[in-house]
Amino acid sequence: MMHIILRTRIHKLLAAAAPVDRVLIKGWVRTRRDSKTFSFLEINDGSALANIQVIAEEHLENYEEIKRLTTGSAVAVIGAVRESPGKGQKWEIAAESVTIYQIAPDTYPLQKKRHSDEFLRTIGHLRPRTNKYGAAFRIRSELAFAIHRFFHDRGFVYVHTPIITGSDCEGAGEMFCVTTLTPEGLREKEFPGFYEQDFFGKKVNLTVSGQLAAEMFALALGDVYTFGPTFRAENSHTSRHAAEFWMVEPEMAFCDLEENMDGAEALIKYLVGHIRENCAEDLALFSSFVDKSLPDTLESITANTFIRLPYEEAVRILTASGQRFDYEIAYGRDLQTEHERFLAETHFKQPVIIYNYPRQIKPFYMRVNDDGKTVAAMDVIVPRIGEIIGGSQREERSDMLELRMRETGLEPSEYWWYLDSRRYGSVPHSGYGLGFERMLMLVTGISNIRDVIPFPRTPGTIEF
């Protein structure tokens, strides 16, 4: 009688409570060691950090071929799972058959040794096959799931906001233009009416934030969030900026700045807790090889109430610190990463929420406070990274909103639909944006944003 045998993923097998009669696994050879009468194969299928050891004995009909298996080769193995006498593993597979898909030539770049992150970036198409990047991208997947879970459990509605848009949410003008008119070097200034001929009949760009659209849905559905890719054409060559990154943007009706801060703090704590609970093995790799202080950092995030500090107070602390900064700090200037890191890393040694920033350094949509000089903005800053969340209570008064648009150089008539929301049933509402990659950097200890994105896009780099 023929037995159909289903493929088992190795992570399931490693968690098995008892030996299993017969399994089929498929994966890639990490190493092969030969003894006189058998070969040890370490197989990994990407489902977990750990490999499973396969013992292939000389009686196998293709034993000669098995002895030619190299690192990176692909195989299918059928055999019994039994207790392993070897150290460091509970189970091993006694092979009944080893089917070879392909033997990798010895030019395979990922031989068994540690490679630098810089080298691995040059082989971005292969790096998810390494222990470190496999772990990083499994955690990335789990983190995305945890975000949906957090909001879903709290009754938030998930909204897909557009990727192509005609508005500039942050008003910074750092956008990628989307056009089907391609002649090199054509500019609207040189060719008036250029964009009228274009696909949408106006100038459009890739979104820098889903916020404005999310606000429309919050004012209809109450509590919503959007979670998707965003794009910024800022020419920042830092380890924290990418041209294409993902942002989580909740938006809540009937919500003030205080509640907004509560929500942001709860989200970060929940995500850290979820990853610690569900990705323990992958996380251990980062604690051992990437950032030894990671467990302490994560513990301090979940254990402490975030400090809440008005911007003015932050400036006072920075000025009084006697610390030398590359960028001088004074009231009215934006905080730079070095300032943020000083506060979170050196001064408070834990996450800090800075709020009530001067109105002249923040976008038009933030609510103007009663003092007339600050807006109800809040940034969450964390050790090692600096800003991880930016948010605010939104300006719900239409006359003030129009004034702020003019003040920041936006033409109110182009945002007529946004202004409509302040005309019909306007209410206090708030929201924030969490940089998804920065959150991943926080939980893994990885210090360069290029290393938490499958195929990163930064100025001058788009190989894959």
Query: Which residues contact Mg ion (rule: CB under 5 A)?
Result: 390
C-alpha 200 chain-centroid distance: 31
Q: Which is nearer to ligand 4AD, 32 or 241 (CB)?
A: 241
Q: Which one of 59-67, 100-108, 293-301, 429-437 is the stretch in contact with ligand 4AD (CB under 6 A)?
A: 429-437
Helix axes 257-278, 294-303, angle to 10 degrees: 140
Please identify the residue of the shown chain whose CB is closest to the bound Mg ion: 390
Helix axes 294-303, 280-289, angle to 10 degrees: 120
Nearest to 144 by CA among 458, 450, 440: 440
* Cβ 263 vs Cβ 421: under 8 Å: no
Which of Mg ion, ligand 4AD, none has residue 294 at its interface (CB below 5 to 8 Å by kind)?
none
| Per CB under 6 A, 435 contacts ligand 4AD | yes
Q: Which is nearer to Mg ion, 81 or 378 (CB)?
A: 378
If residue 7 lies in a helix (H) or strand (E), which one and from where to where? none
Nearest-approach distance from CB 171 to ligand 4AD, in angstroms = 10
Residue 139 backbone phi and psi in degrees, to 5: -65, -40
Q: Which residue has the tokens 């929301």?
A: 421
* Cβ 97 vs Cβ 56: under 8 Å: no
How many other C-beta atoms can be found within 10 angstroms of the C-beta atom of residue 190? 8
| Per CB under 6 A, 431 contacts ligand 4AD | yes
* Cβ 146 vs Cβ 270: under 8 Å: yes
Contact letters for ligand 4AD, residues 168-207 (x by CB under 6 A): -xx-------------------------------------
Q: Which is nearer to ligand 4AD, 124 or 386 (CB)?
A: 386
| Per CB under 6 A, 133 contacts ligand 4AD | no
Q: Which listed residue (223, 265, 387, 451) binds ligand 4AD by CB under 6 A? A: 387
For residue 382, the one-letter residue type is V
Q: Which one of 89-97, 108-116, 278-286, 432-440 is the stretch in contact with ligand 4AD (CB under 6 A)?
A: 432-440
* Cβ 102 vs Cβ 63: under 8 Å: no
Nearest-approach distance from CB 387 to Mg ion, in angstroms = 6
Q: Which residues contact ligand 4AD by CB under 6 A?
A: 169-170, 209, 211, 232, 234, 241-242, 245, 247, 249, 387-391, 431-433, 435, 437-438, 449
